[in-house]
Structure 1
């Protein structure tokens, strides 16, 4: 019962492999003759990119004849999402807002407290609270050391969340949460996409947690979102992980039978949706 909480605390205290000394060598380049040692305890970066409505949510809204909501002017938070799950006061690293095309740029993001991932969070009327992972230490084993540009952030409309909740089913959510929740948002969830090197969704992929007891919490919504199965992704490449509705938890996710998809840091907390894209290699398509 105490293992997940203990592991999460260890990770957030910096006891994992990313918690090296504060001074590390700069990223490799062609000419390093004038390179300076990077002090990650005081390093601040800029996180820039654009936000848009989650692709499958857009498709569903358009199929139903509904307008896709605008994101212009909405506030955006840069944070360490799993620190948020344990109410860590140092979880928020920066704030910004979205432009007319969903663009954003947040400067002076201090990365000292990033141990597992860096994410951008949206929480507004008409959308569920969700964090999109922008940087995962699973790839580099270190905190970010350079600016993040071209980041993509996904907003999850309440109507799409409700469709996913119906697809997974009330009885399944109640069973996974010991009757604490009846919606994915209340339970806490991960909304994931499995894509190939070009960014196209992958059908037939099976997502595997590093802890076997969590496997039953993963569902694969049907392409029409009328149901969900537990064997593999549909043509949408989507999967949903249902959290317990209780304390925050961390684990890793990988793709069964594929070495090109590296294990990824993941986690869940009640009231929060984590949006995660699983892709081959270390560079997002």
Structure 2
């Protein structure tokens, strides 16, 4: 039976571990650190079978090289033309990756970085730093228009698709979402639920596409009212009639929230 487990790394990263107990092996997604992965594998008597990379940032890739020390043949899947040179199975839009009994389609999702990809299927998806619970990644390399189109790709996944992103940013994202939509009842209820989880140091993930459609302001940028609370200093800088421009204005607000 295949399960997805969270391995904590740094202060707020999750390295997702796809475990096959029958084979006593596992794949990991975005291993920014090797030590937490090695500890988890040892504790659960698992061997590393493969690695999935979403983009080149160090907190998603620095663990790859040390994880390969004992077995250089472990496949490392990741974006083609990435600045990270540790990928031995480069991927492009629409490529397929099979992990045990799950097949993932690759989506090119530029915005946070230009090389960013996501691994998706109808049941569960690994979205790296593109789509977060109640948020999205900062635009370090791509444009707001690129990121909006990337998010629209993910938004088209089935409502019950589970979303595994890489950071525990949910509470901070919800604080911003409530500033954007202070009367969104689904958002307010969900925020209380997450506060209770985090008070016990419980993980807030995975989220689902249905949940994100209800409360993630960046996925809701197609709605004209989503910029009603936008600070006046930002309203003059964007054409708020366009969904991607509304997204851009919200992202600019969030950057300094």
Q: TM-score, normalised by structure 1?
A: 0.25
Question: Between Structure 1 and Structure 2, which shows a larger proportion of strand residues?
Answer: 1
Q: Could you say which structure has the greater relative contact order, defined with CA pairs below 8 angstroms and 6 or more residues apart?
A: 1
